Amino acid sequence: MIDKKTSPKGKSVRVTFTVPADVAARTLAVVGDFNGWDASKGSMKLDKKAGAWSKGISLKPGASYQFRYLVDGKSWRNDEQADSYLPNEFFSENGVVEL
């Protein structure tokens, strides 16, 4: 799930990425244009009570960002609720979030 909340002055959008807990056994990261595709900057936190991984990121409005989830450091996954998808250089697709 992708939740978008615009700041009161409209200078940023808080995007919260949420993924069910059973998607990853050990680690999950949201990586993309917004963090240089660096998994260490996109580490998601597991909330066992809520049964979900999540990560909030503040981004600039009026832009679009490509992203994917890195599952347990070895496999890639897209979000079904991405606004769109674009082909990538690995013969797959990246999700896109539009703000």
* Residue extents of the structural domains in the chain: 2-98
Mean pLDDT for the chain overall: 96
pLDDT for position 94: 98
pLDDT-based confidence at residue 29 (cuts at 50, 70, 90): very high
Tokens of 36: 């240089």
Cα dihedral across residues 41, 17, 74, 89: positive or negative: negative
For the chain, what percent of residues have pLDDT higher than 90?
A: 98
Residues 6+ away with beta carbon under 8 Å from 75: none
Q: How many whole angstroms from its chain centre is CA 46?
A: 14
> CATH assignment of 2-98, given 2.60.40.10, 3.40.50.300, 3.30.360.10, 3.40.50.10860?
2.60.40.10
Rounded to two decimals, the pTM is 0.94
Q: What is the DSSP letter of 82?
A: -
In this predicted model, what pLDDT tens digit does every residue of 52-83 receive, in sequence order? 999 999 999 999 999 999 999 999 999 999 99
pLDDT for position 79: 97
pLDDT-based confidence at residue 10 (cuts at 50, 70, 90): very high
Closest C-alpha among 81, 65, 87 to residue 20: 81
Q: Is pLDDT of 24 > 90?
A: no
